[in-house]
Chain A
Amino acid sequence: MPDMTTFFQTPGVGGVIAATVITSIIITYGLMLRWVLRGYEDNKDNQ
């Protein structure tokens, strides 16, 4: 079994995790904005 303590202490791993969290948040908010703004098109489709 790999030593997880050593893995998380490896320089750069923390940065990669931080970058992943931040990127995920940006993508989530981008998708949310797209969903809100597409309300107009979806409304037309329903009509």
Chain B
Amino acid sequence: MANKTGSHVLVDRDHLMKPITQTSGGYFLLVFLLFLGVAWGAFAWIWQLSNGMQVTGLNNTVAWGVYITNFVFFIGISHAGTLISAILRVSGAEWRRPITRAAEAITVFALVLGGSQVLFDIGRPDRAMNVFLYGPLQSPLLWDLICISVYLLSSLFYLLLPLIPDMAIMRDHHAVTGWRKELYRILAFNWDHNPEQKRRLEKAIAILAVAIIPIAISVHTVVSWIFGMTIRPMWHSTILGPYFVVGAIFSGIAAIIIAMAILRKVYGFEDYLKPLHFDYLGLLLLTMTALWFYFTLAEYITTGYGGLLEELEVFESKMTGAYAEMFWAMVIFMIIAFFILSFARSKWPVGATVSASVFIVIGMWIERYTIVVPTLNVLEGRGYHPAIYWPSWVEIGITFGSFCGFALLYVLFAKLFPIISIWEVEEAEEALEERLEHMKTYLPTGTTATAER
């Protein structure tokens, strides 16, 4: 069917299913390498469990190091799904259609890996249930547990709902056989593409899209309160909640841009993930970069100007002390990203946004580190100066394993499920017609103008 502009939306189902129906040798190699990375991480964790926390760089002063940095980082990355899928859906941005699934999957896997970091940090994961059994309600740790659990459940459901029509398409596809056909049959929940089911599905997705935005914001606000509710220098700040949320959305967009670029290259999705998508996301990223600079400046200039002794000690450790290299590396990475997005994005939308995203993702991990560690390391510094915290091979191993685990889950997901939502892209043409009609209601039309004249 042609729309009123005379052009067609062409969806090649076989092409979109190619990652599922065809497997190259390179795919097996990638899975094997990622599995090796996860195995190394698992070995490091077993080593830590067997020998105690002494094998890490953590100590009485710095009890939250790389693990909690990873926790905050992964929870931040998880905001990709919320922004791309929910906010763009609520605002009616039609260009979101090919990228929603990829973004929603990032959310779920990032939350799983983020939550795992807490288990690595507590040293005795068998006591994890104590948070439920003995946790007092006034503890931000319990608020965090509630928020993250609700967010994980909501994100899983938000990933599952739009998957159902695609599962029915996969179930009925001739190239799908064996156990996978059975899996799609179960996950299709007897879906038969009837209009009433579709109407209800779209309504449920719309409700969930609205609900998930405040849930996501609450998650990163409460993550920041784990730090902010303690009376510690450069943590006890009212700006920390919004600062964390901005950073989370910022790193989330960067993560989805990198994932999209890889999917586009590996599976040849150039017709679906176009330079325009990268350009639009790059523009969003540029806005978030500016916001991030604003919040960072506001946070640091207030602390530096105020000059409270305790805060100055942490402040100086970041500006000129032990953490200065990391802090300034972060700032330089963000400046580079800002200039790439400002001046190279429109000419090379894909290359520019992807390279800026790499700088941003690394920069945001460093940002999390420079928030978590210096306050702990310097706090006890008055009177005596503990050794500067540095992660051991165990923490580096578990961190590497976690990132490999995140990538492995994503790669396996893309192997089992369509990473581009088939039915949502197919429905774009219908939506275009509706949008055109809707636009006519608020734009001056020839008929009205003639009548008034």
Contact = CB atoms under 8 A, between A and B. Distances in A.
Interface string B136-172: 1111001001100110011001001100100000000
Interface in A1-43: 8-15, 17-19, 21-22, 25-26, 29, 32-33, 35-37, 39-40, 42-43
Given A22-B150, A25-B154, A39-B197, 11 more contacts: A13-B137, A14-B135, A15-B131, A15-B132, A25-B153, A29-B153, A29-B157, A33-B189, A36-B161, A37-B191, A43-B194
Contacts of A22: 146, 149-150, 153
B196 interface: yes
30 contacts: A9-B137, A9-B138, A10-B136, A14-B139, A15-B132, A17-B146, A21-B149, A21-B150, A22-B146, A22-B150, A25-B153, A26-B153, A29-B153, A29-B157, A32-B157, A32-B207, A32-B208, A33-B160, A33-B161, A33-B204, A35-B204, A36-B197, A36-B200, A36-B201, A39-B194, A39-B200, A40-B194, A42-B196, A43-B194, A43-B196
B57 to A, nearest CB: 31
B287 interface: no
Contacts of A39: 194, 196-201
B136 A19 contact: no
A39 B168 CA distance: 15
A8 B146 CA distance: 15
Contact of A15 (B134, B150, B190): B134
Contacts of B270: none
Contacts of B444: none
A15 B133 contact: yes
B182 interface: no
Contacts of A15: 131-135, 142
Contacts of A14: 135-139, 142
B150 A25 contact: yes
A10 B135 CA distance: 8
Contacts of A12: 133-134
A42 B111 CA distance: 36
Contacts of B146: 17-18, 21-22
A11 B416 CA distance: 43
B195 interface: yes
B207 to A, nearest CB: 8
Interface string B102-143: 000000000000000000000000000001111111110010
Interface of B: 131-139, 142, 145-146, 149-150, 153-154, 157, 160-161, 164, 189-192, 194-201, 204, 207-208
Tier of interface size on chain A: 20 to 34
B132 A18 contact: yes
A39 B200 CA distance: 7
A40 B195 CA distance: 8
Interface of A is mostly: helix
Contacts of B137: 8-9, 13-14, 17
Contacts of B198: 39
Nearest to B146: A18
Contacts of B157: 29, 32-33
A46 B136 CA distance: 51
Contacts of A21: 146, 149-150
A8 to B, nearest CB: 4
Contacts of B150: 21-22, 25
Nearest to A37: B189
B197 A40 contact: yes
A15 B192 CA distance: 41
Contacts of A11: 133-136
Nearest to A12: B133
B223 to A, nearest CB: 16
A36 B208 CA distance: 13
A31 to B, nearest CB: 10
Contact of B197 (A8, A17, A37, A46): A37
Q: For A8, A9, A14, A42, which residue has the most chain B Cβ atoms within 10 angstroms? A: A14
